[in-house]
Amino acid sequence: MNAKRPLAPFGRRAAPVTFNARYGAYAVIGCADTDGPRPSAGQFYMLSAASRWGGGDAERPYLPRAFSVLRAPAGSAELEFLIEDVGPGTKRLAELAPGDQLQLVGPLGNGFAPPSADTTPLLVGGGVGIAPLAILQDQLAPNAIALLGFRDGAHAAGAELLADPVIATDDGSVGHYGLVTDLLADELDRDDPVTVYACGPPAMLEAVRRICAQRAIPAQLALESGMACGYGACFGCVVATKDGFVRLCVDGPILDGQALNEVAA
Ligand code: FES
């Protein structure tokens, strides 16, 4: 969507970890990337740890993992990533500490496009999918309204990463008891002109796509897919659009909601 996207330097590079901060169920890992261009909101990196990556308890080789950049403060070399420990690779990344080295390739993919003229950005995030919305709020949409959904209170601690969010939780422990798409429908009922930006699990994204399509609201969706290479070579990340299959790592991960018949589970 963003024709002038920053391009990744060739090959993998090391970035020293500068901090590891806990936000409930999540870790935010900061690193100093002195050799790469600054990313656009919505771009992603392939991450791995420089040591004890693969060959751990289960003796399995881990591929790098794709992560949207959470934050890239202006005027610094710092990059931040939001990690949820859901398996051996993410567990290793979530435990990295200052003194460790993060290996990264990026920035990759296309970032978000600016909001349509005279519209307010409306950010809709679910779980770890809030990550690209934080840098979007920093770079493109300081006046954005943020609607964030989480499974429970431990995960809702991640809401601190965005400014002035409205929160929904599946168990009702924080904010609205229900889905973030309930909040979206309420917000759209105001009939204010908005551009929707969304990232989260496929079922949430499909609900956002459908709601926006019914109301002719522009929506940019950050999709997820298994990514083995991150630069278009393996075709492991293809998704169906109205115009055929695209590779999310080079043609996405941000897609226009109107380009999709559905967000597949
Ligand atoms: Fe390999 Fe997209 S991740 S083609």
Residue 89's pLDDT is: 87
Question: What are the residue ranges in the chain where pLDDT is below 50?
Answer: 2
Longest pairwise C-alpha distance within the chain: 54
Eight-state DSSP code of residue 104: E
State whether the beta carbon of 218 lies less than 6 angstroms from ligand 1: no
State whether the beta carbon of 228 lies less than 6 angstroms from ligand 1: yes
Q: How far is the CA of 242 from the centre of ligand 1 (A)?
A: 20
Residue 179's pLDDT is: 97
Pairing label, strands 219-222, 194-199: parallel
Name 44's bridge partners.
68, 108
State whether the beta carbon of 63 lies less than 6 angstroms from ligand 1: no
Atom of ligand 1 nearest to the CA of 247: 2
Residue 159's pLDDT is: 97
Residue 4's pLDDT is: 73
| Most ligand 1 atoms within 8 A of CB, residue of 67, 223, 235 to mutate | 235
State whether the beta carbon of 77 lies less than 6 angstroms from ligand 1: no
Shortest-distance Cα residue to atom 4 of ligand 1: 232
Q: Structural domains in the chain? A: 13-108 (2.40.30.10)
Name 14's bridge partners.
103
Atom of ligand 1 nearest to the CA of 229: 1
| CA–CA separation, 173 and 110 (whole Å) | 35
State whether the beta carbon of 234 lies less than 6 angstroms from ligand 1: yes
222's tokens: 């950050």
State whether the beta carbon of 237 lies less than 6 angstroms from ligand 1: yes
